[in-house]
């Protein structure tokens, strides 16, 4: 157990109120991972003041030097990868290989964005007029409020903090109250790397009070949020009313299409990984599998058998395939949706219950759950459950499958398994999602390309990616025209 603190203006400090809350292991409710400061508005005020005070010096720091600090932070995360991965498993619940992968993603982003310190490229283009040149450059936005979820407690802070810093912004970071110790370790790596005081500030506390106050703070210039649609929509309303930039990634109801010519063994593997990886607690989780009618029965039975072999338990145990869900609230929500699916007439063919015996007796464990006979209009096929529950839906043909995938409010990730290049071409053109996978599951994005969705999945792009990616979120374009002709010239008129 650790006692963690806020990090404000280069110092580790308690909250002004002195109040605390506990971070617990979702696999074992008796284990307290950390005692955490419960912050309030005064703490946010101090953090924003520190970020504002550090901004001028940080934006004038040459970008290559900013990148060098990020590189050192990535090296520290790499050095500490093993204990950080184990911490993730204890605090969030994901199995250890996934915890280590989460840390690696932050490391990759640190290296990538360190390189951007020597790039941050704009454009130089020719003018239509004599003795005139033109260029675009990236400039920082200012003070960013960053709000992150619990399911990727080191990777997602890396997605946000690293690009924000290399672009010259300063940051106030509010992590999820379910994974505050992981967030503290991430910020600790930046502090150890030599980040100047005030450039990154960490404030723990409840989202309703601390998060919303941060988003609306008059000295914050822009916001990046990852979390639920309901919370994101509320924050968008706050930012819209005060004309503030917000990038929001708000989840999904993702689908895998399995065509009649698919490699079924591969499709089953992809379905298992997409549905039950991270216990279904990914915004890109495959909570729907849309299967061509010719292979529906065979695929469904193979999928059920494969899922029935998954072992629930503590993610630190090597034999564990599926860990706990994050907390009591999510545990109750998932069980409620399972009951909704039964009442809607879907056929429960696997799981459907809490597991509270043996190694699972002290945690928030839900059995891997599969419904067949699901119709596209059912709530379990429309609403984000965020747990180990998947609906298998029958489709007449490719066109019908694509329509089923698209007829939902979300549009983050989708996938298709097919051996037909024409079918894959139609799918990648017509699927209304920000990410499309071909012969792979709906999860597994890499940091070299933008990440994000459409519709209720949000807007703005994160996770690296050059133009249209994180750099466009965390920097503004400035266009510069220089006329050295010594006379007035009028564009579009003097030709």
Q: What is the pLDDT of residues 137-178, one digit of tens each?
A: 999 999 999 999 999 999 999 999 999 999 999 999 999 999
Nearby residues of 301 by Cβ (< 8 Å), 6 or more positions away: none
Residues 296 and 289: beta-carbon distance below 8 Å: no
pLDDT for position 1: 87
Q: In angstroms, rounded to a whole number, what is the distance separating the alpha carbons of residues 390 and 255?
A: 10
Residues 383 and 374: beta-carbon distance below 8 Å: no
Query: 81-92 and 63-79 helices cross at what angle (nearest 10)?
Result: 70
pLDDT for position 467: 55
Active site (annotated) includes residue 249: yes
pLDDT tens for 107-132 read 999 999 999 999 999 999 999 999 99
Query: Which one is catalytic: 283, 384, 462, 463?
Result: 283
pLDDT for position 464: 55
Residues 88 and 182: beta-carbon distance below 8 Å: yes
Average pLDDT along the chain? 96
pLDDT for position 459: 78
pLDDT for position 494: 87
Nearby residues of 247 by Cβ (< 8 Å), 6 or more positions away: 222, 223, 224, 225, 458, 459, 460, 461, 462, 473
Helix, strand or coil for residue 358? helix
Instruction: List per-block mean pLDDT (blocks of 10 residues) for the chain, which spans 495 residues.
Output: 96 97 98 98 98 98 98 98 98 98 97 95 96 97 98 97 97 98 98 98 95 97 96 95 95 97 98 98 97 98 98 97 98 98 98 94 98 98 98 98 98 98 98 97 92 88 63 95 97 88
Active site (annotated) includes residue 428: no
Query: Which one is catalytic: 88, 91, 116, 249?
Result: 249
Residues 121 and 150: beta-carbon distance below 8 Å: no
Look-up: residue for tokens 């004599």? Answer: 130
pLDDT for position 66: 98
pLDDT for position 347: 98
Domains and CATH numbers, the chain: 2-250+457-480 (3.40.605.10), 254-438 (3.40.309.10)
């Amino acid at each position: 157990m650790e006692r963690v603190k806020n990090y404000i203006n280069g110092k580790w400090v308690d909250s002004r109120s002195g109040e605390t809350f506990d971070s617990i292991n979702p696999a074992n409710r008796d284990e307290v991972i950390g005692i955490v400061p419960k912050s309030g508005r005064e703490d946010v005020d101090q953090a924003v003041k520190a970020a504002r005070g550090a901004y001028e010096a940080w934006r004038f720091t040459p970008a290559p030097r900013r990148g060098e600090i990020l590189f050192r932070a990535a090296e520290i995360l790499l050095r500490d990868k093993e204990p950080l991965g184990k911490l993730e498993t204890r605090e969030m619940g994901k199995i250890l290989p996934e915890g280590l992968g989460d840390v690696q993603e932050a490391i990759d982003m640190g290296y990538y964005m360190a390189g951007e310190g020597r790039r941050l490229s704009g454009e130089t283009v020719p003018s239509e007029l004599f003795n005139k040149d033109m260029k675009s450059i990236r400039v920082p936005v200012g003070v960013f409020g960053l709000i992150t979820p619990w399911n990727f407690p080191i990777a997602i802070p890396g997605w946000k903090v690293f690009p924000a810093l290399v672009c010259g912004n300063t940051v106030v970071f509010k992590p999820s109250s379910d994974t505050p110790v992981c967030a503290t370790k991430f910020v600790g790596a930046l502090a150890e790397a030599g980040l100047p005081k005030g450039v990154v500030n960490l404030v723990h506390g409840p989202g309703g009070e601390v998060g919303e106050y941060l988003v609306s703070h008059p000295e914050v210039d822009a916001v990046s949020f990852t979390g639920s649609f309901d919370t994101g929509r509320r924050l968008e309303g706050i930012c819209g009313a005060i004309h503030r930039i917000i990038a929001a990634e708000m989840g999904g109801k993702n689908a895998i299409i399995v065509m009649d010519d698919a490699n079924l063994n591969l499709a089953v593997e992809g379905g298992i990984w997409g549905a039950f990886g991270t216990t279904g607690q990914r915004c890109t989780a495959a909570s729907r599998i849309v299967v061509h009618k010719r292979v529906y029965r065979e695929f469904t039975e193979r999928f059920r058998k494969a899922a029935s072999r998954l072992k629930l338990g503590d993610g630190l145990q090597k034999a564990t395939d599926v860990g706990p869900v994050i907390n009591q609230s999510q545990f109750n929500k998932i069980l409620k949706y399972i009951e909704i699916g039964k009442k809607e007439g879907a056929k429960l063919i696997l799981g459907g219950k809490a597991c509270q015996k043996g190694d699972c007796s002290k945690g928030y464990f839900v059995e891997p759950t599969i419904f067949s006979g699901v119709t596209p209009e059912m709530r379990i096929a429309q609403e984000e459950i965020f747990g180990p529950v998947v609906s298998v839906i029958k489709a007449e043909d490719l066109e019908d499958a694509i329509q089923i995938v698209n007829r939902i409010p979300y549009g983050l990730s989708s996938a298709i398994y097919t051996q037909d290049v024409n079918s894959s071409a139609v799918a990648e053109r017509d699927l209304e999602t920000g990410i499309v996978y071909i012969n792979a599951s709906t999860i597994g994005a890499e940091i070299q390309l933008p990440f994000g969705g459409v519709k209720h999945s949000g807007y703005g792009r994160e996770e690296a990616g050059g133009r249209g990616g994180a750099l466009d979120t965390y920097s503004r374009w400035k266009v510069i025209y220089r006329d050295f002709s010594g006379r007035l010239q009028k564009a579009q008129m003097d030709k």
